[in-house]
Homo-oligomer: A and B are copies of this chain.
Amino acid sequence: MQSARPVEPAPAPADLNALRQLVAADLARVNQVIIQQAQSEVKLVSDVAAHIIAAGGKRLRPCLTLASAMLCNYEGARHVQLAACVEFIHTATLLHDDVVDESTLRRGEQTANDIWGNQSSVLVGDFLFSRAFQLMVADGSLDVLKILSDASATISEGEVQQLMVSHDLSITQEIYEQVIGAKTAALFAAACEIGPVVAGQLQWRSALRDYGYALGMAFQMADDALDYAASSEAELGKAIGDDFREGKITMPVMVAYQHATPEEKQFWDETLARGDTLDAQTLTHAKGLMHKHSAIEATMQRAQYFCDAAIAALSPLPASPAKEALEQAARFAVARQF
């Protein structure tokens, strides 16, 4: 007979399963809206839209809108349309990003710009963006229109700022966080803020907005770490080191550069100048320097700070399955390997 041992609490799960299960029925309806509303009489519009939408991804942002509505005890149907709007805005920015980055691979699939050319990606992005606004207008909430038009303006400003500081190894943490706050966290914040707004539970508006913002920050930082730390390109869905090739100075590079010896600084300067032609050996050396200066760890620590902030933002809200699912999503943001 074994002696009695205190039962260890099971580690809190860090995945999107609870979130996905919680919103599964609504998300199926969101997907229907997305497929239906991405149709156009112009066949090429439908084709390009279907391609980027089918590539699918995690549908994390619409899930956040659905869960935040649920957390606010919303019982109507408006959140479904509005979650689709959030995904359309996200999809439009992806199409435009791929043109900006000249990417050929997204989520493991050939990018739309690589198949149909930049022209279609620019224009179909514009179409999806307009369609999002048409759906919001049909919904009729000026509050929601304000949330998402503000987020859209912020996203484009963040992307331009990222362009401006690209190839600049000396950028500060503050600028880096401004950029990812604008290009990523703003839409996460907006996605979460829509829930309390449609539910008319305005007392939770700032809490859910803050949660979304912090979640977005954690998510993007983990993404930036994975760009160097992912175990395989297949899992990452893009080439390891892509950010650096594109001149995007993210936190892992920033930290390694800040702690670099003069000789290492020279390596970074030269490597960045080479950019496109970054070979496997150079990338391995770069990753070695990141390891030496604990750059990935520093990035993940900062991501963990935002994960904790996201969970803390939810603390005023009463316990519920939706709250728990959102907490798990925050833990997933920093625990994920893909």
Identify the A interface with B (CB < 8 A): 40-45, 48, 93, 96, 99-100, 118-120, 122-127, 129-131, 133-134, 136-137, 140, 142, 145-146, 149-150, 152-153, 155-157, 159-161, 163-164
Contact = CB atoms under 8 A, between A and B. Distances in A.
A246 to B, nearest CB: 10
A123 B163 contact: yes
Given A124-B156, A126-B129, 12 more contacts: A41-B157, A44-B160, A44-B161, A48-B160, A96-B126, A118-B118, A120-B160, A122-B122, A125-B126, A126-B155, A129-B152, A137-B146
State how many copies of this chain the complex holds.
2
A100 B127 contact: no
> DSSP class of A's interface residues: helix, strand, loop or mixed?
helix
Nearest to A92: B126
A126 B133 CA distance: 13
A157 B99 contact: no
A163 B133 contact: no
A313 B93 CA distance: 40
A140 B145 CA distance: 10
Nearest to A150: B134
B137 A142 contact: yes
